[in-house]
């Protein structure tokens, strides 16, 4: 296992071995990549995750191998040669090919023929000798044609279940299968969004993941007819070369069995495999793209600790308004009706102006849903001096407002108030708020409901855990949801931390975590360095320095005859430190270098600085767009074929990958990222299909 993983990832066997040992001990990926660099040779999170995933795949392969060996023993079919073949199979497909002839199955035509005693006849015909097959058949059944048909059924099954023949066929199908789609009868109007695929054909191997998923979705919805066409002639030629050895009457029977076996058994099996493999490949790529979008969204620039007024817009039902303090605590809530007549608009203006003054509001967050642009125009028209006004993507806010987490936080508030709070908090700290929502509901994926849900969830969990731990979590203000993603914790320990905090007040030092119910040494080791205590007595408690390394920093300070706080504040003191003096058997230069970087910027936030943004005034719907318009926008979603951009018209436009830059772009992530502010030009508007084409080319 270690050798195969090492070769697959081009990582030394020692690195793989030590990483697997840490994973087996219960260490998390963020902890291993950040605090065990000496053991792993400084592998990053991606490499550690790859080792884990390959290890898990290998374990599953071994489980299947042992199950097959057990089955073969029970069937009394296990010979030394067969056992060697099973143990030598390196992939699941090869393993299943070897097992297929012995695998218990429902009654087949070949089984029925064997029950008639035709196995020996099939064996004789397969030798392709000079005897007349009809003469041979007459010895078995009175009906010669029935006997020959049964023998061919046996031969067809045996030949099509030969592992080497299946491997050859699989290789050809993998390279040469074509996928074709056409519109289902009477579905042209209903399936207009699939118009591009009403008459489509391309190589399955070359088809990008988004297209495969779109085709499968169209088929599932009954809009498209989908057909996979394999390289039939090429495969038949290979089969004939493998199984035909003569040119006589018996060989003709074998040839007929090959034709029948391919059409009836092997071709459908290969097409099923190709569908499954294409779906698996498309799923993996879609999950990768989706996870990257989620990462970029979670790590979007936070406004920070500011007093925020948040509005969840609406026309007839009014706008729900909430005021939040610097920690996101709800101070007040009400509803205003700026879009239901002049009188109520004037009243709404008075309320907002009064609240801005009363609560010392520093920023206003406005949800980008229904009435969002109109509400933004109304608020901007109030000319509130020194107030930052920001449109906030509210995807998933309604999911949060109906969730158990929202009910726990605001049991006496209705859904709309909770939604407005979520909008305001998203502006202050996107990561802290978005972790409360199922990532699939955040609105940055296209096919998240079509892909393998188990694999998607695992990937998203990895992504959220990575983001939370890379930023770090303020121990005394963090919600249960964000705490549960901290390395080594989980929902139960997160709740126990909240309970301890409620009962005993804020944590004064990291070591107090050990007083939390069921939070033992292992959990403390995994979690402590990712949890921050602002203004703690020990300044290192606010940093990413692990408590197990505090002694090193204290020794550095002692050697320079100063305090730890002096090291944090004084660069000239840090420059006097010779790291080589502190290298030991457990601590090497990678860890010491990380410590020095952390001392320079303790608890630094890796996210970018917040920048205010506003859409073009007067462009509020798709009807307002004109070809050639230059507009500011925010990237909301990135796919392999381009980036979707919100330009403030309630319908994202697409910048195709060919329009992202004046140079060739292979991967859109090279040019843009989610939540990035961009300038785009309108190149096409299709109101019927609700499609907007944009360009970022100069």
From residue 220, give the alpha-carbon distance in Å to each of 67, 215, 432, 552: 34, 9, 37, 61
Q: What is the pLDDT of residues 123-161, one digit of tens each?
A: 999 999 999 999 999 999 999 999 999 999 999 999 999
Residues of the chain above pLDDT 90, percent: 86
Residues of the chain above pLDDT 70, percent: 100
Q: What are the chain's domains? A: 2-102 (1.10.10.650), 109-294 (1.10.3500.10), 308-428 (3.30.420.140), 491-600 (1.10.150.310), 622-695 (2.40.50.140)
Q: How far apart are CA 169 and CA 232, in angstroms?
A: 9
pLDDT for the residue numbered 358: 96
Q: What is the pLDDT of residues 95-112, one digit of tens each?
A: 999 999 999 989 999 999
Q: How far apart are CA 32 and CA 513, in angstroms?
A: 21
Element (H, E) at 173: helix 163-176
From residue 352, give the alpha-carbon distance in Å to each of 357, 362, 368, 423, 594: 9, 13, 18, 17, 47
- What is the maximal distance between C-alpha atoms in the chain? 107
Q: How far apart are CA 435 and CA 696, in angstroms?
A: 31
Q: How far apart are CA 65 and CA 71, in angstroms?
A: 10
Q: What is the pLDDT of residues 649-662, one digit of tens each?
A: 989 999 999 999 99
Give 440's pLDDT tier (boundaries 50, 70, 90). confident
Mapping DSSP to helix (H, G, I), strand (E, B) and coil, where does residue 43 land? coil
Q: How far apart are CA 585 and CA 661, in angstroms?
A: 50
**Which two three-digit tokens encode residue 257?**
């069995």
Q: What is the pLDDT of residues 407-422, one digit of tens each?
A: 988 999 989 899 999 9
Residue 113 exposure: Cα atoms within 13 Å on the Cβ side = 24
On whether the CB atoms of residues 361 and 321 are closer than 8 A, the answer is no
pLDDT for the residue numbered 508: 94
- The mean pLDDT value of the chain amounts to 94
Q: Alpha helices of 506-664 — where are they, by DSSP H?
A: 521-527, 550-559, 564-569, 571-575, 589-600
pLDDT for the residue numbered 442: 79
φ, ψ dihedrals at 367, nearest 5°: -65, 145
Element (H, E) at 355: helix 342-358
Q: How far apart are CA 394 and CA 442, in angstroms?
A: 8
Give 88's pLDDT tier (boundaries 50, 70, 90). very high
From residue 125, give the alpha-carbon distance in Å to each of 61, 116, 161, 254: 38, 16, 18, 7
- Total Cβ atoms within 10 A of residue 1: 15
> Once rounded to an integer, what is the mean pLDDT over residues 316-345?
94
pLDDT for the residue numbered 441: 80
Give 211's pLDDT tier (boundaries 50, 70, 90). very high
**Which two three-digit tokens encode residue 196?**
């591009």
* For residue 443, pLDDT beyond 80: no
pLDDT for the residue numbered 444: 73
pLDDT for the residue numbered 501: 95
Evaluate the CA torsion angle 600, 603, 606, 610 in order and state its sign.
Answer: negative
* For residue 446, pLDDT beyond 80: no
Q: How far apart are CA 564 and CA 550, in angstroms?
A: 10
Element (H, E) at 124: helix 119-126
Q: What is the pLDDT of residues 586-623, one digit of tens each?
A: 899 999 999 999 999 988 889 888 988 889 988 988 99
Give 692's pLDDT tier (boundaries 50, 70, 90). very high
On whether the CB atoms of residues 420 and 334 are closer than 8 A, the answer is no
Q: What is the pLDDT of residues 270-320, one digit of tens each?
A: 999 999 999 999 999 999 989 999 999 999 999 999 999 999 999 999 999
Burial label, 226 (beta-carbon count in 10 A; 0-12, 13-18, 19+):
middle
């Amino acid at each position: 296992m270690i050798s195969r993983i090492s070769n697959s990832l081009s990582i030394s066997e020692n690195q793989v071995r030590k990483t697997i040992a840490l994973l087996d001990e219960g260490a998390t990926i963020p902890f291993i990549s950040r605090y065990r660099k000496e053991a792993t040779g400084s592998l990053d999170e991606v490499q550690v995750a790859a080792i884990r995933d390959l290890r898990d795949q290998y374990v599953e392969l071994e489980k299947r191998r042992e199950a097959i060996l057990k089955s073969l023993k029970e069937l009394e079919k296990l010979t030394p040669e067969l056992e060697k073949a099973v143990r030598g199979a390196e992939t699941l497909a090869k393993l299943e090919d070897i097992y297929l002839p012995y695998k218990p199955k429902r009654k087949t035509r070949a089984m029925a023929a064997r029950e008639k005693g035709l196995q020996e006849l099939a064996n004789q015909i397969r030798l392709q000798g000079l005897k007349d097959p009809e003469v041979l058949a007459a010895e078995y059944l009175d009906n010669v044609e029935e006997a020959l048909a049964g023998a061919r059924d046996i031969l067809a099954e045996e030949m099509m279940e030969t592992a080497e023949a299946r491997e050859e066929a699989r290789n050809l199908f993998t390279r040469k299968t074509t996928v074709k789609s056409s519109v289902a009868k009477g579905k042209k109007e209903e399936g207009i969004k699939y118009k591009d695929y009403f008459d489509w054909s391309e190589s399955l191997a070359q088809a990008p993941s988004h297209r495969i998923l779109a085709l499968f979705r169209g088929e599932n919805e009954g809009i498209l007819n989908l057909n996979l066409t394999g390289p039939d002639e090429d495969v038949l030629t290979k089969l004939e070369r493998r199984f035909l050895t003569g040119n006589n009457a018996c060989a003709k029977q074998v040839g007929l069995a090959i034709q029948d076996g391919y059409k009836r058994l092997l071709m459908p099996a290969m097409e099923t495999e190709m569908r499954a493999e294409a779906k698996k490949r498309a799923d993996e790529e879609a999950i990768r793209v989706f996870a990257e979008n989620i990462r970029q969204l979670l790590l979007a620039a936070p406004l920070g600790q500011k007093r925020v007024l948040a509005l969840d817009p609406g026309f007839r039902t009014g706008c729900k308004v909430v005021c939040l303090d610097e920690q996101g605590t709800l101070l007040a809530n009400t509803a205003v009706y700026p879009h239901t007549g002049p009188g109520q608009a004037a009243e709404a203006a008075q309320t907002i102006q009064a609240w801005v003054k009363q609560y010392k509001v520093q920023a206003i967050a406005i949800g980008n849903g229904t009435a969002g642009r109109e509400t933004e125009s109304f608020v901007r028209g109030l000319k509130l001096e020194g107030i930052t006004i920001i449109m906030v993507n509210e995807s998933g806010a309604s999911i949060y407002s109906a969730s158990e987490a929202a009910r726990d936080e605001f049991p006496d508030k209705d859904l709309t108030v909770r939604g407005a709070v979520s909008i305001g908090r998203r502006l202050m700290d996107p990561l802290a708020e978005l972790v409360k929502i199922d990532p699939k509901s955040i609105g940055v994926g296209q096919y998240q409901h079509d892909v393998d849900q188990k694999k998607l969830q695992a990937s998203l969990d990895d992504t959220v855990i990575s983001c939370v731990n890379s930023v770090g979590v303020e121990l005394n203000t963090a919600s249960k949801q964000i705490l549960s993603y901290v390395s080594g914790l989980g929902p139960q320990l997160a709740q126990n931390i909240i309970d301890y905090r409620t009962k005993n007040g804020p944590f004064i030092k990291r070591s107090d975590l050990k007083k939390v119910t069921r939070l033992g040494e292992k959990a403390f080791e995994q979690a402590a360095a990712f949890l921050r205590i602002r203004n703690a007595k020990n300044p290192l408690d606010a940093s990413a320095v692990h408590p197990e390394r505090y002694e090193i920093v204290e020794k550095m300070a002692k050697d320079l005859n100063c305090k730890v706080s002096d090291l944090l504040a004084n660069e000239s003191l840090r420059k006097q430190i010779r790291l080589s003096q502190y290298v030991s058997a457990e601590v090497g230069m990678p860890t010491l270098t990380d410590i020095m970087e952390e001392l320079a910027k303790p608890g630094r936030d890796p996210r970018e600085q917040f920048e205010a943004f506003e859409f073009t005034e007067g462009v509020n719907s798709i009807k307002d767009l004109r070809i050639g318009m230059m507009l500011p926008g925010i990237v909301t979603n990135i796919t392999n074929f381009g980036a979707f951009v919100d330009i403030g018209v309630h319908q994202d436009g697409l910048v195709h990958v060919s329009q992202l830059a004046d140079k060739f772009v292979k991967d859109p992530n090279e040019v843009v990222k989610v939540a990035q502010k961009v300038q785009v030009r309108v190149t096409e508007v299709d109101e019927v299909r609700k499609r907007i084409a944009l360009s970022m080319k100069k």
